[in-house]
């Protein structure tokens, strides 16, 4: 079998597995659904942190904006469930992207650690604001409309919509990293002053990247809000200490600045976390903390980064030609 045919077979096989998974293991549908969400988290974080070199600790903001925007639209639009969800999710994505573009004007001017610290406040501030704003339910949060169908159908619906979102995010980023826009992101990461001195439009590049990241996160927030069924300002929408930190960890675990790294990192992290919950109940947070320390100490380059260092030939890197 040729290399090309093997690739097609692998893609077709994975596709079938994705379609069949909820029927093969019905008990785990919700876990799989959250896995797709984690993959969106890691991919969108890596667009900024890995490819552009801007470590954002505030991306959870866009997730929360999407969750609230969609829930408000569902509450007030008067449309049917599916229509309201579809338009609400799109609205969530667009609003999140707009928020990123607006915030980017100020915050993307910060470099390195300053940007990271600047973004750290975003999610916390948003959680406080949402927690005090009656229009979005203030501290008691928001409930979303009930799914019009059986419980099994609901699980399958969210499994497939989040799978589609993860796939769309992955394919968009795969395409993006193949264009010179992707090269320009890497150029800013490697030496922003040089990129500017070469005439690149660095401010627009950074804003575009953050907005794209926010767009997919906004949609994921809209879907996740409906999947969870209840939007708490601090524990769901702007859950910086859980989702907000996990995004960063999953991308680093898998390998920053690679396309597949965040996907692998999300899968490994999510499975490990579920195992901790099942077998180390009561100690799961301690185990998770230790895992995080181990990741940073032993795999600073992430899983893919470490593999690439050990077997450069397999990743298309050429050996030195003398």
Binding positions for another protein, rule: CB under 8 A: 179-181, 183-184, 186-187, 189-191, 193-202, 204-205, 208, 257, 317-318, 320-321
DSSP secondary structure string for all residues of 191-234 = -HHHHHHTT--HHHHHHHHHHHHHHHHHHHHHHHHHHHSEE-II
- Quote the least distance from Cβ 199 to another protein, whole Å: 4
The 10 Å Cβ neighbour count of residue 269 is 25
- Quote the least distance from Cβ 50 to another protein, whole Å: 11
Whole-angstrom distance, CA of residue 173 vs CA of residue 169: 6
- Quote the least distance from Cβ 310 to another protein, whole Å: 16
89 or 208: CB nearest another protein = 208
Cβ(88)–Cβ(71) below 8 Å: yes
Residue in the block written with tokens 């999610």: 123
67 or 304: CB nearest another protein = 304
196 or 274: CB nearest another protein = 196
2 or 322: CB nearest another protein = 322
51 or 56: CB nearest another protein = 51
- Quote the least distance from Cβ 252 to another protein, whole Å: 16
- Quote the least distance from Cβ 318 to another protein, whole Å: 4
**Range list of β-strands (E), the chain:** 142-143, 230-231
Whole-angstrom distance, CA of residue 185 vs CA of residue 183: 5
């Amino acid at each position: 079998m040729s290399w090309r045919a093997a690739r097609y077979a692998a893609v077709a096989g994975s596709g079938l597995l994705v379609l069949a998974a909820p029927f093969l293991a019905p008990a785990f549908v919700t876990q799989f659904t959250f896995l797709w969400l984690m993959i969106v988290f890691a991919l969108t974080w890596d667009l900024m942190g890995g490819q552009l070199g801007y470590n954002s600790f505030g991306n959870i903001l866009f997730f929360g904006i999407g969750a609230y925007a969609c829930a408000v639209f569902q509450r007030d639009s008067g449309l049917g469930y599916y229509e309201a969800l579809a338009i609400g999710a799109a609205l969530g994505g667009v609003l999140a992207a707009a928020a990123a573009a607006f915030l980017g004007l100020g915050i993307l001017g910060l470099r390195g650690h300053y940007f990271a610290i600047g973004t750290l406040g975003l999610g916390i501030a948003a959680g406080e604001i949402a927690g005090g704003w009656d229009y979005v339910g203030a501290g008691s949060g928001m409930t979303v409309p009930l799914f019009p169908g059986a419980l099994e159908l609901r699980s399958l619906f969210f499994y497939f919509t989040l799978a589609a979102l993860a796939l769309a995010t992955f394919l968009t980023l795969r395409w993006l990293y193949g264009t010179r826009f992707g090269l320009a992101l890497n150029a800013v990461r490697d030496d922003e002053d040089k990129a500017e001195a070469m005439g690149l439009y660095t401010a627009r590049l950074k804003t575009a990247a953050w907005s794209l990241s926010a767009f997919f996160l906004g949609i994921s927030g809209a879907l996740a809000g409906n999947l969870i069924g209840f939007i708490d300002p601090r524990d769901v929408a702007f859950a910086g200490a859980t989702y907000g930190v996990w995004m960063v960890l999953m991308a680093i675990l898998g390998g920053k600045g690679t396309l597949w790294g965040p996907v692998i990192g999300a899968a490994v992290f999510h499975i490990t976390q579920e195992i901790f919950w099942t077998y180390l109940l009561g100690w799961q947070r301690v185990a998770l903390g230790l895992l995080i320390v181990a990741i940073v100490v032993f795999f600073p380059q992430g899983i893919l980064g470490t593999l690439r260092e050990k077997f450069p030939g397999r990743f298309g890197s050429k050996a030195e030609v003398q």
